Structure 1
Amino acid sequence: MSPLTSLTSPMTLTPTITVIVLFAALLHASWNALIKSGRDVLMDTALVAAGATTVAAPLLLFFAPPPLASWPYLLTSIVLHIGYYLTLVGTYRAGDMNLGYPLMRGIAPLLVALISVIVFHESLSPAMWLGIAGISGGIISLSLLAGNLHSGVRKVMLFAFANASLIAMYTMVDAAGVRQAGNAPNYVLWMSFLEGMPFAALVFWLRRRAFVAHARLHWRRGIIGGTFSMLAYGIALWAMTKAPTAAVASLRETSVIFAAFISAFLLKEKLSFARWLGAAMILGGIVALRQ
């Protein structure tokens, strides 16, 4: 079965899958908060990438490599993820988490939906389109209507749009790759092991002494963040073998609700009425996805 065929096969977003993907969203928001809460975003992002590789490495003894047919997707995803990490660092350096994170995660589901329909001919019901629009609109409003616009917002938006584009691309590549592999754990573990090394090696090459010193102090952050990152994306890819890609992609971006509370209570960033309104739009979108 080709990945294009598998992407068009009938799939359903069940209540069980919905709850599991929401848990993945919490994990995703948590590892992003770990990065943003640190003193050096670049170093912490590299630690998370290296942490995913470290956690995945011993597990490879129990999981065979995915089939050769899935490797072009896996290798393409690794390249896209390096760009993702770089634009993630740029976004968080340019502005607050409660501005950059919702922009990155809100634009991506719309791009995924368009790609899945135009390129992969995935069928989405009117209710799903409504749900995707509600989730993305609510997510984006968390940034644009929350009173945190400032003179540097253009730079944040440029980085965030670049990041969202990469998210959409690697999501579609991995959705096809994991279905081609026929086994989500094998694909995710090998991808997690391979994707972390190039970015961590790049940061090590650029700032060797600083990276080593940072890793000695904060290696636990890398292990925890890497584990959360691997689990969050692994769950999402598994869900994409069971439910429409665009629906899962939108649902996992509800991580911004968790991120909003994390940024408010742990990072002491403002949680305004407009952010509550955006959260309500997201919840409405989730309900529409389930219709």
Structure 2
Amino acid sequence: MTVTVLLAVLGAAFLHASWNALLRVGTSRVAAMMVLSAGQGVIGLGVVLTHDWPGAAVWPWILASGLIHTGYQTFLAFAYEHGDLGRVYPLARGTAPMLTLLANALWLGEAVSAMETLGILVLGAGIILLAGGVWRSGESRRMLPYAFGAAFATAGYTVVDGIGARIEGQAVVYLGWVMVVAGVAFAALMLALRGRASLPRSGRVWALGSLGAVFSYGAYAVVVWAMTVAPIPLVAALRETSIFFAVMIGWLVFRERMTPLKGVSAAMIVAGVLLTRLAA
């Protein structure tokens, strides 16, 4: 891996953590996510309009992924209504690789190596410690089911997208349609659940949500490019440094409380993810 690719992937990891941080800035997490999701849909629409219509075989996967992405965005927005960036992000982001790996082993019959097993154990211990810290720190426990819901959704769309993108043949077209579906579905769901309260009411929310949409789409684009010029396991592992960036942003920017146990558990999650990714 060249220095250029290394810096690009680390930059993508920072962008991923940053768009999550932007959700914490606005007064309404749901409204900010509404703008972000719509922005992703607009970008996706711009992509798909320049390509051919997908074949019938890929549409079930596009629709399934779009709905799972909607669940992910919903759980994540609700989690940030009750928890800190430095607590929610590592739980949501760190749990997903473990779930994906276990799903592949249980349902797809893929063998789990000794390194991956070690990574799962380290990951699991870090997640338990970080989640347990909610009881000791006095934070709202309501964020836990939402954070883990986001993790399950991430694992779900990871598996679905891996299959769907292969059927489509063009990952950029597949992703574009998924974002269009998710943008429409998320807006409909939030209007049903929250009504007019889910709508953005200030220029600041529009600005932050739009910036988040650019960050999230850009981060994914960089990672996809990097995987074409560098080893995929290495790119995937470096991408997970976003957990470190999220914890640091939460601590330094939002002044979230950083206890030794929180720092250790977050480091264990990063280490566990790296072990599972590099073993692939």
Would you say same fold, with TM above 0.5? yes
* Cα displacement (A) at 1:282: 4.5
Summarize deviations over 1:124-155 as a string: whole Å, max 9, x none: 432233235435544554454588632632x2
Q: Please list every run of 5 or more consecutive structure 1 residues that lacks an aligned counterpart in the other structure.
A: 1-13
- Conserved? CA contact 1:264–1:270, under 8 Å: yes
- Measured in 1, the distance between the counterparts of 2:98 and 2:159 equals 12
Summarize deviations over 1:192-219 as a string: whole Å, max 9, x none: 22211221244356544772523x4432
- Measured in 1, the distance between the counterparts of 2:14 and 2:120 equals 19
* 1:230 aligns to 2:217 (yes or no): yes
- Measured in 1, the distance between the counterparts of 2:226 and 2:124 equals 19
* 1:111 aligns to 2:105 (yes or no): no
- Measured in 1, the distance between the counterparts of 2:21 and 2:39 equals 16
- Paired residues in the alignment total 273
* 1:74 maps to amino acid: I
Give the TM-score, by structure 1 length. Answer: 0.78
Residue 173 and residue 21 in structure 1: after superposition, are their counterparts in 2 closer, same or farther (change >3 A)? farther
Q: Identity, % of aligned pairs? A: 34
- Measured in 2, the distance between the counterparts of 1:283 and 1:106 equals 7
Aligned residue number for residue 68 of structure 2? 80
Give the TM-score, by structure 2 length. Answer: 0.81
Q: Please list every run of 5 or more consecutive structure 2 residues that lacks an aligned counterpart in the other structure.
A: none
Residue 160 and residue 210 in structure 1: after superposition, are their counterparts in 2 closer, same or farther (change >3 A)? closer
Secondary structure of 2:137's counterpart equals coil
Aligned residue number for residue 176 of structure 1? 163
Secondary structure of 2:199's counterpart equals helix
- Conserved? CA contact 1:24–1:235, under 8 Å: yes
Aligned positions of 1:153-192 closer than 5 A: 153=141, 155-192=142-179
* 1:196 aligns to 2:183 (yes or no): yes
- Measured in 1, the distance between the counterparts of 2:110 and 2:7 equals 23
- Conserved? CA contact 1:139–1:256, under 8 Å: no
Match of 2:201 among 213, 216, 234: 213
Aligned residue number for residue 267 of structure 1? 254
* 1:29 aligns to 2:17 (yes or no): yes
* Cα displacement (A) at 1:69: 2.2
Match of 2:278 among 252, 277, 290: 290
- Measured in 1, the distance between the counterparts of 2:268 and 2:118 equals 11
- Conserved? CA contact 1:70–1:181, under 8 Å: yes
- Measured in 1, the distance between the counterparts of 2:2 and 2:270 equals 14
- Conserved? CA contact 1:49–1:226, under 8 Å: yes
**In angstroms, what is the RMSD of aligned CA positions?**
3.3
* Cα displacement (A) at 1:60: 2.7
